[in-house]
Amino acid sequence: MAVYFSSDNHYFHANIIKYCSRPFRDVDEMNAAMVDNWNSVVKDEDVVFHLGDVSAGLRDRVDDFKALIGSLRGKKVLIRGNHDHQTDEWYVEAGFRSVHESLVLGGVLMVHYPVHEAISRKVDDSGWGVVEHVVHGHIHRCDVEDFEDHYNVAVDRHGFVPVSSGLAIPSRIHDKFLEETINFFS
């Protein structure tokens, strides 16, 4: 089992192509490319923590969204972002194993925002405990440096491909993170 991270796909969000200068003609091309990219690295037995903004602008495409999520390989966990407005049950029905505001495993905080912004936006931090490293999304721009002890997995920064845990998490805590991830799914 491998572990990956992704965030800020914004499936079905036409304006994100313009806002972030994404290299796609339209939403259908963008969605198809990101599904292909995801499935080119993620296997069915792998885990993917999606750190928010999985979609936007669904309107009349709810069934298409659910089909798209169902087509993505791996065991998917959603950490909510500022565009994830549906109920937890709705996302579980769409194909996520669980939905969280934030999650800490092995000293790694997974949250949509960099930690200073998560706190200012009042993300519930009561269960965080000891945090040694933060994996987040939210910042699409490639010219913004990562904060100390943070790793940004927004798709715009990684060629629209999920990021391996070995890249996103320092080696000194990676084994502990993997062990707690396995326990999380037991």
DSSP track, the chain: --EEEEB---BT-HHHHHHTT-S-SSHHHHHHHHHHHHHHH--TT-EEEE-S--B---TT-HHHHHHHHHHS-SEEEEEP-TT--S-HHHHHHHTEEEEESEEEETTEEEESS-HHHHHHTT---TT--S-SEEEE-----TTSPPPTTEEE-BGGGTTTSPEEHHHHS-HHHHHHHHHHHHHHT-
Q: Which residue has the higher pLDDT, 85 or 25?
A: 25
Domains (ranges, CATH) in the chain? 3-184 (3.60.21.10)
Whether pLDDT at 179 is above 80: yes
pLDDT digits (tens, 9 = 90+) for 37-76: 999 999 999 999 999 999 987 777 889 999 999 999 999 9
Whether pLDDT at 122 is above 70: no
What pLDDT was estimated at residue 51?
98
What pLDDT was estimated at residue 78?
98
Whether pLDDT at 14 is above 70: yes
